[in-house]
């Protein structure tokens, strides 16, 4: 059913309800109309019937007021050939070609052809290339690269194994009377979804580095896996001049690469944002209703218990978890991380060299094949007659 038909039925229903109740005010109150609207609807219905109740607030387009077809075609061609141009620049470039149209007029043409935004113009360009197989210009290539970079910056996080990429973020828990503001430093391994968190009464670079030093890196060292890269937003607790910033200095000291999200794009670190929502719904919203906390240490104790249950008992539907718990996913995929470590592979190869040399007789011993051949030669030398008899029998057979 079309929207216009629904509106007509609603207005007719208003008239029938007023007739049934015998009270205009009550019918208008039930249906959500004013009395002025009721009398106007009734007048239209009495004069023109149900078709007179159609929505007429929007004027019908007048094709004769549009620009000439050749101008419209030129505007569309400009949008596809130069998708990065805005309406002002596109109108200016068309003016250089002798085609005069205002920026607002160019935008109206784009809207009619569903080209009013940069992503839509890029989509039209990709469709044209796919259909016609045309060679892209330099400007078109640059525009498509911009789209690709933007998609990577705001798209799904790609990770290879545990420790490949960790995500860290700051979460404002709240203000507790007698304790003050409470901030949470959150870390999650983007592959296995193993999470850890620590509470502080402030947010700065030292607290961000303390979380890594106190909880994150000891966990990875316990399992003999390095943390290669970390993803954060551009908050002051994570970003500043590396030579003066405690967090940046700590990452350099530990040999961890630092990646930052795109400006004004919190979805780039959405894995932490989603964890914060889970913690709010499943822990904080319940804990603060059950207990009055007098210190951060008391709240940290309950948080650690919940994280223990989250990592070891709560099944996860993440990309690499397949319904397993985060810790089970981490343990099952440890070999993926260890096989990527070149220094560990080199150490294994170095340890294999003595074994290979021992098997090859590097310590003065002859290989087994050589010892067997020498024993055969010795046996033949001691009893040549038996050798000749066996040799002749083999030939006869």
In 181-340, where does DSSP find H-type helix?
Answer: 205-211, 217-222, 246-254, 270-279, 285-290, 296-312, 326-332, 334-339
pLDDT of residue 297: 94
State the pLDDT at residue 391.
Answer: 41
Q: Quote the tokens at residue 15.
A: 């008239």
Residue-wise pLDDT tens digits, 105-131: 999 999 989 898 888 888 888 888 877
| Predicted pLDDT at 143 | 73
pLDDT tens for 374-387 read 444 444 455 544 44
- Binned at pLDDT 50, 70 and 90, residue 190 comes out as very high
Average model confidence (pLDDT) across the chain: 82
CA within 13 Å, CB half, 80: 18
10 Å Cβ neighbour count for 224? 11
Nearest C-alpha neighbor of 226 from the set 200, 185, 197, 189: 189
2 pLDDT tier (thresholds 50, 70, 90): low
pLDDT of residue 226: 92
**pLDDT for residue 224 is more than 80:** yes
Confidence (pLDDT) at 262: 79
In the block, residue with structure tokens 């309950």? 302
Q: With CA atoms as reference, report the closest residue to 75 among 65, 62, 63, 88.
A: 88
Q: What is the structure's pLDDT at 72?
A: 92
- pLDDT greater than 70 at residue 285: yes
Distance CA 148, CA 18 (A): 59
Summarised one tens digit per residue, pLDDT across range 193-217 is 999 999 999 999 999 999 999 999 9
pLDDT of residue 121: 87
3-state SS, residue 197: strand
**What values do phi and psi take at 64, rounded to 5?**
-70, -15
361 or 30, greater pLDDT? 30
Torsion sign over Cα 162, 256, 223, 341 = positive
Q: How far apart (Å, rounded) are the C-alpha atoms in residues 125 and 397?
A: 81
Q: What are the tokens at 236?
A: 């002051």
- Buried b / exposed e along 39-55 (16+ C-beta atoms within 10 A): eebbebbeeeeeeebee
Q: Supply the angle between the helices 87-96 and 103-112 in degrees, to the nearest 10.
A: 110
From CA 187, how far away is CA 169, in angstroms rounded? 7
CB burial of residue 90 (10 Å; 0-12, 13-18, 19+)? buried
């Amino acid at each position: 059913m079309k929207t216009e038909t629904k509106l007509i039925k609603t207005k007719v229903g208003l008239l029938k309800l007023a007739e049934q109740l015998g009270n205009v005010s009550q019918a208008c109150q039930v249906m959500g109309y004013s009395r002025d609207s009721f009398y106007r609807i009734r007048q239209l219905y009495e004069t023109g019937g149900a078709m007179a109740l159609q929505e007429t607030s929007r004027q019908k387009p007048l094709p004769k007021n549009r620009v000439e077809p050749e101008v419209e075609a030129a505007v569309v061609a400009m949008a596809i050939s130069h998708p990065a141009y805005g309406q002002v620049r596109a109108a200016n470039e068309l003016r250089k070609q002798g085609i005069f149209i205002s920026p607002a007029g160019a935008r109206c043409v784009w809207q009619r052809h569903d080209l009013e935004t940069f992503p839509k113009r890029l989509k039209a360009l990709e469709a044209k290339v796919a259909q016609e197989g045309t060679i892209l210009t330099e400007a078109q290539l640059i525009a498509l690269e911009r789209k690709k970079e933007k998609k990577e910056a705001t798209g799904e996080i790609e990770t290879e194994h545990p420790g490949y990429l960790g995500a860290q973020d700051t979460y404002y828990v709240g203000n507790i009377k007698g304790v003050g503001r409470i901030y949470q430093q959150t870390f999650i391994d983007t592959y296995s979804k193993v999470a850890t968190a620590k509470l502080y009464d402030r947010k700065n670079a030292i607290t961000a580095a303390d979380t890594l030093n106190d909880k994150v890196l000891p966990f990875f060292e316990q399992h003999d896996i390095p943390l290669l890269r970390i993803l954060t937003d551009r908050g002051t607790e994570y970003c500043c001049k590396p030579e003066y910033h405690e967090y940046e200095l700590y990452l350099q000291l530990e040999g961890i690469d630092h990646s930052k999200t795109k400006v004004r794009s919190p979805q780039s670190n959405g894995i932490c944002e989603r964890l914060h929502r889970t913690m709010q719904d499943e822990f904080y919203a319940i804990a603060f209703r059950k207990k009055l906390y007098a210190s951060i240490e008391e709240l940290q104790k309950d948080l650690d218990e919940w994280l223990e249950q989250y990592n070891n008992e709560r099944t996860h539907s993440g990309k690499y978890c397949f319904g397993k718990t985060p810790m089970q996913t981490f343990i099952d995929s440890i070999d993926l991380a260890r096989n990527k470590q070149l220094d560990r592979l080199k150490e294994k190869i170095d340890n294999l060299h003595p074994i290979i040399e021992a098997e090859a007789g590097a310590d003065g011993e002859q290989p087994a094949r050589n010892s067997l051949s020498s024993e055969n030669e010795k046996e033949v030398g001691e009893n040549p007659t038996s050798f000749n008899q066996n040799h002749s029998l083999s030939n006869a057979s």
